[in-house]
Amino acid sequence: MVKNNHQEDANSLRNHVKVSEITSHDRRSNLTPTKRTIATPSKFNSQIALSPSLLESRIASPRKHKLGISSPKKTPAKKRIAPSAAKPSLVDPDFNPLEETQRILRLRISQVNKPPVISGYEKERKQLYDLMKRTATTGESNSLLLIGPRGCGKSMLIQRVVEDLHSDVAVKENVQLVQLTGLLQTDDKLALREITRQLKLENTVGDRVFRSFAETLQFLIEALKKGDQASKPIVFILDEFDLFAQHKNQTLLYNLFDVSQSAQTPICVIGVTCRLDVVELLEKRVKSRFSHRQLYLFNKLTLSQYRDLCRSYLTLCSDFPDQDFADTWNKNIQCLLGEVSVKDILERQFSLTNDVRGLITLLTYPICQVNAAHPRVTAADVVTSFKLISTDTKSAMLHGVSTLELCLIIAMKHLTDIYDGEPFNFEMVYSEYQKFAQRRSGMQVYEKPVVMKAYEHLQTLELIKSHAGGGGAQVQKEYKLMSLLVHPSQILDAIQKYPGCPTEIKQWASQSIC
């Protein structure tokens, strides 16, 4: 039944497309309020706001080939013509607006494309841009740390600034970019090799770098020392900067900062990190050479901006080929975001994390659910998605254990209650279990080896863990001290939903102390 409904939905949408072709132009003239707000992001002075037209234009051309969509009918050129010149259904008989929508939205949330345009962080962006530009034009050496929590747009900001720099030809020619990541360049040796490779110095042939570590360092220092104000400025971008601070002696950082503080090749060192206390990680002499410029980025989204952001992630923009479909879609999204349950879920997600990544996680499931049989995003999708995100993993895991294992968990819970968090061993759990099984229930009492097996299974699931000070490997497994890693509320929660849970067990679990 449900499927039929969906198909009807799809059909009605398509019919709608055909019927309303004539009126499409009129419609476009009086845009929905949604679009008007998107067109002028400054209106809601947001920190981060997507401008869908830019997003779209990026998606439109360069990704085409990589995605393997090489059908000649879908070339970008035609697309640009489509909305203005002719009616799309005539130009492109097998153009499927739903498929196209799906593609666009999926690319948006998977962030394959360049990150969305930011209209917040104006001040920070200007400062960063000025700094890098001064390095490029006047040859001034600088260092800067970009600090902010995960998912607040640090890399995006840098990427945007670099793009801006490259748009100016005079600047682009005068700057060399070296990008390092603390996760890949795990020690100075690898980092130095990567630097010489990216700078294409003389000791590189193709992609290989010769010479030993010590020689590479001396070579690089010498190369940088030889340079003066006439040589090309280099911008070093160190992602995960805090990991570079864990290298031995912080040699790389010392040398980079030292070059930036002496009359050698002009360089600009930009560190990107999420640790607020990163400057305290630096050694005293490295810290002294660092110029202490710090840029802080924070998630400053408000709830209304968060809603607007959600809308701009879901709406199709004005250069979508099939305008009528886009209009219907957008109206539908507008309705969706007006629904109480969706509003409530957005608010809850926002109260948990106020960054864009949380929103993307929330939207992934609904967007992936869109298909011909289910042509629109419904409130139920969003609710399901939130439920999937917020499931308690441990109670979900408890649904899959056997009754005996559940009994053992309850026995452990009682032991933890009685002895106030003290660790327990297998023998204690077993006697607790026996007490219950013999006295109170008509259940089968399992023998010790069987119970032991169940106990070990719980251990491999990491629902119980060997206690820190619980003896070494010499202790027999029956007497090893363990502690329970399940919270009592999770146990009660799991037992409520456990399929076919015997009543005795339920009662036993709910008794506080037995």
Partner 1 sequence: MPKRAVNRERPTLPSRSGPKPTPKNDLEEARARLHVSAVPNCLPCREKEFSDIFGFVESKILDGTGGCMYISGVPGTGKTATVKEVLKILEAERDDGNLQDFKFVEVNGMKLTEPRQAYVEILKALTGKEATADHAANILNKMFTVPAPRSSPVVLLVDELDLLWTRKQDVMYNIFDWPTKEMARLIVLAVANTMDLPERMMIKRVASRLGLTRMTFQPYTFRQLEEIVASRLKGLQVFDSDAVQLAARKVAAVSGDARRALDICRRSTEIAESRTEDAGGEAVVSMSDINAAVEEMFCSPKILAIRNLAVQEQLFLKAVVAEFQRSGIEEADFCKLYDQHQTLCRFEGIHVPTMTELSAICYRLGSMRLLLTEPGSRDLSMRIRLNVSQDDIMYALRADIPS
> Among residue numbers 104 through 143, which ones bind partner 1 (CB under 8 A)?
126, 130, 137-141
Q: Helix 97-110 and helix 356-369: axis angle, to 10°?
A: 150
CB of 175 to partner 1, least distance (A): 9
In the range 255-294, which residues lie near partner 1 by CB under 8 A? 255, 258, 261-265, 274-277, 284-285, 287-289, 291-294
Alpha helices in 168-212 (DSSP H): 169-172, 188-199
Question: Is 57 or 353 the residue whose CB approaches partner 1 more closely?
Answer: 353
Is 246 near partner 1 (CB under 8 A)?
A: no
Question: Is 34 or 299 the residue whose CB approaches partner 1 more closely?
Answer: 299
Q: What is the DSSP letter of 225?
A: H
In the range 163-182, which residues lie near partner 1 by CB under 8 A? 170, 173-174, 176
CB of 39 to partner 1, least distance (A): 27
Give the residue, chosen from 226, 399, 435, 448, that forms a contact with partner 1 under the rule CB under 8 A: 226
Is 392 near partner 1 (CB under 8 A)?
A: yes
Looking at the chain, how many residues does it have? Answer: 514
Q: For residue 212, with 0-12 CB atoms within 10 Å meaning exposed, 13-18 middle and 19 or more buried, which class applies?
A: exposed
Give the residue, chosen from 111, 304, 341, 390, that forms a contact with partner 1 under the rule CB under 8 A: 390
CB of 204 to partner 1, least distance (A): 9
For the chain, the first-to-last Cα distance in angstroms comes to 51
165 closest CA partner among 129, 115, 125: 129
In the range 145-164, which residues lie near partner 1 by CB under 8 A? 147, 149-150
Amino acid at site 366: P
In the range 299-358, which residues lie near partner 1 by CB under 8 A? 299-300, 348, 350-354
Question: Is 358 or 502 the residue whose CB approaches partner 1 more closely?
Answer: 358
Token pair 């005795």 is at which residue?
504
Beta carbons within 8 Å of 52's beta carbon, 6+ residues apart: 38, 312, 315, 316, 317
Whether residue 199 contacts residue 233, with contact meaning beta carbons closer than 8 Å, is answered with no
Question: Is 55 or 178 the residue whose CB approaches partner 1 more closely?
Answer: 178
Give the residue, chosen from 44, 129, 298, 365, that forms a contact with partner 1 under the rule CB under 8 A: 298
Give the residue, chosen from 8, 122, 222, 422, that forms a contact with partner 1 under the rule CB under 8 A: 222
CB of 472 to partner 1, least distance (A): 19
- CA–CA distance, 495 with 510 (Å, rounded to integer): 9
Q: 191-210 mask for partner 1 (x: CB under 8 A)?
A: --------x-xxx-xx---x
In the range 474-503, which residues lie near partner 1 by CB under 8 A? 483-487, 489-490
- CA–CA distance, 446 with 404 (Å, rounded to integer): 8
Q: With CB under 8 A as the rule, give the number of residues binding partner 1.
A: 87
CB of 383 to partner 1, least distance (A): 14
The interface region with partner 1, picked from 86-94, 158-166, 246-254, 329-337 by CB under 8 A, is: 246-254
Question: Is 24 or 354 the residue whose CB approaches partner 1 more closely?
Answer: 354
In order of 130, 156, 240, the CA distances from 163 in angstroms are 13, 10, 21
- CA–CA distance, 349 with 204 (Å, rounded to integer): 50
Is 419 near partner 1 (CB under 8 A)?
A: no
In the range 36-75, which residues lie near partner 1 by CB under 8 A? none
Whether residue 145 contacts residue 295, with contact meaning beta carbons closer than 8 Å, is answered with yes
Amino acid at site 334: Q
Antiparallel, parallel or unpaired: β 204-205 and 464-466: unpaired
CB of 458 to partner 1, least distance (A): 14
Beta carbons within 8 Å of 370's beta carbon, 6+ residues apart: 98, 101, 102, 105, 376, 377
CB of 203 to partner 1, least distance (A): 6
Question: Is 60 or 279 the residue whose CB approaches partner 1 more closely?
Answer: 279
